Chains A and B, each alone.
Chain A
Amino acid sequence: MLLFDKDISRLKILTEKKKMKINKKIFVRRNHSFEMTGNVLNAFLNYSDIEAYIEYSSYDDSLTCNDLIEADLHILWLDLNRYNENLLNKFIAEKVEELRNKISSPILLAYIGSEIEEKYFTTKDLTIVNINQVINSLGNKAFDTSKEDLSGTRLSNKACLYIAQYLGLKIIPSILKPALKAIVLDLDNTLYKGIIAEDGIKNVCPYNNLQKKLKDLKNKGFLLCLCSKNEESDVKKLFTLRDDFILNWNDFTSIKANWNKKSDNIIEIAKELNISTDSILFIDDNIAEVENVKAFINDIHTIITTEEEKTLRILDLYPCLMKKNVSNEDLIRSKDIQLNKQRKEISKTLSKSEYFKKLEIKIELTLNDKNNINRISELLNKTNQFILSYKRYNLTETEKLLNFSNTCIVTAKMSDKLSDSGIIAILIAKKNNTDLYVDELTFSCRALGRNIEDIVITKMLQISINYLKTSNKILINYKKGPRNIPALSWLSSYTGEVLQDKGIIIKQLTKDLETYGLDIKEVTYVK
């Protein structure tokens, strides 16, 4: 994996670069040159299927932002040594906020020189990267002041390559694309050195730095799963006996220890977790296994492990494994999915109302929930399967929606006696003359299969109708996407209509709603 190497050369990286069509635009405001980084950035972004057109401002220490440039990402590229340190935090924070008031796309502040204090920066949808830390390992080689007059930056060629690698692999894809959801791991020679069936459980040597990194990712809401060609009893024994392992049996949301094809196991895991295979990262030391999995699941992400240190480096730089905010839902996701097996068992023998009662399912519907705006925006951007129109509003745009008098956002939280699932559904509705226009609807796949979709969504629509004072005629906007079949199947069955590639379905909402005794509470926030 050349792009992830520590020792990278500009020539090699550009020689191997794929040819791709431009699909994103990045605008760089700067007070020193970005070109040496920018000219190689796309080679790294290509790994995440991004090819960006990069436009530059002139060099400007005052950071004026009178020009309104449309872009998918705005980068503030600053050498902070050019500012008075006493006023630094206040000045930069004000400038970032000024920019935020003019544009709605994400902002990335990447700086070298004097350090800023992040507590001063409260701007929404802002990612701050301290480039000093990225180039720290280069020592003196990070700078080349002899060429500063010619290059427009004191950064060396090597430093620019390191920065392009860091921004292009780890940071920018995590801002522009949905996060991965699950990491499926092999065991032998991947999580430890050795083979349990040959070396014995007691003699394998754990890769504990790697295990620690994976545990950290789990704590940020990524689901860990095992897919190993071993006897399940041996694997269970391994995690019971080896108390020096950082990862333990309960850290894994799904465990497949058998002799089936790994691709079959991974497809089964994706079904269990209700996620698409392109949100899975599969890690294995065996090239043949990885190639075999890729042959059957071509959109899966993969890492072939060699030495622990190299794997750690790849994992650290791997796209879409970075989360700025860890939400309550991130913390409960793994347990919630593990409990779905129990829920399925209970649902087999009971009627709808008995099932709701037995599981003590509680729904809380909230109108215009300002307090959970981060989570709402996150769900709008990461939901792939139950999403109707792929509006993908970013954080700033979502906040703006709350300020429009003819728009409302209704969210649904769900809990039952087994766990609290947090926010599971979002409806964005607008008043269209006298009718209700459904702009976007998402439903968490974790919450599907409990027979609550129709009730919860109908109730959300009723709340929107009451709030926006519309008729009961609803116009539902939808668009066929790469993976939203579950959403479209639901819409078709809910409205009884045959769907095209995209369109608007008209439905008259009936006033009566059979809730089968489902416990539903309503909360309203004043705009």
Chain B
Amino acid sequence: MKNKEKLAEILSVLLGQNVEINSDISMMNCEVWDSMKHIEIITTLEEELGISFPIEDIPNLTSYKLLADEIKKLI
């Protein structure tokens, strides 16, 4: 639960809009979330949660849900 909160917080701050827990936000429906923003989200999550995403998975983690699932696996 705490990690989902953190994920929502990070997405809110970095995307500049309110992102709720279990949001359906993704690269497809959020204009600000481009490829450069994506890498910023990934590195901030790594910094804040002390995790390291597998490089090959990073390009695919393009929504709140996919990120939340991956974080669950890593922690």
Instruction: Tell me the A residues contacting B by CB distance below 8 Å.
Output: 9-11, 14-15, 33, 35-36, 39, 144, 146-147, 150-152, 156-158
Contacts and interface: CB of A to CB of B under 8 A. Distances in A.
B36 A33 contact: yes
A147 B47 contact: no
Contacts of A152: 36
Given A35-B36, A150-B39, A10 B44 contact: yes
B9 A147 contact: no
A144 B42 CA distance: 13
Interface string B23-41: 0000000000001111110
Given A147-B58, A150-B59, A11 B43 contact: no
B13 interface: yes
Contacts, number: 50
Contacts of A156: 43
Contact of A9 (B35, B40, B47, B59): B47
Contacts of B37: 39
B48 A147 contact: no
Contact of B13 (A15, A147, A158): A15
B14 interface: yes
Contacts of B39: 36, 147, 150-151
Contacts of A14: 13-14
A329 B6 CA distance: 54
24 contacts: A10-B43, A11-B10, A11-B13, A14-B13, A14-B14, A15-B13, A35-B40, A36-B36, A36-B39, A36-B40, A36-B43, A39-B36, A39-B40, A146-B55, A150-B38, A150-B42, A150-B55, A151-B36, A152-B36, A156-B43, A157-B43, A157-B44, A157-B47, A158-B47
Nearest to B39: A151
B48 A9 contact: yes
A148 to B, nearest CB: 10
Nearest to A39: B40
Nearest to A158: B47
Nearest to B38: A150
A29 B14 CA distance: 24
B40 A10 contact: yes
A280 to B, nearest CB: 34
A347 to B, nearest CB: 59
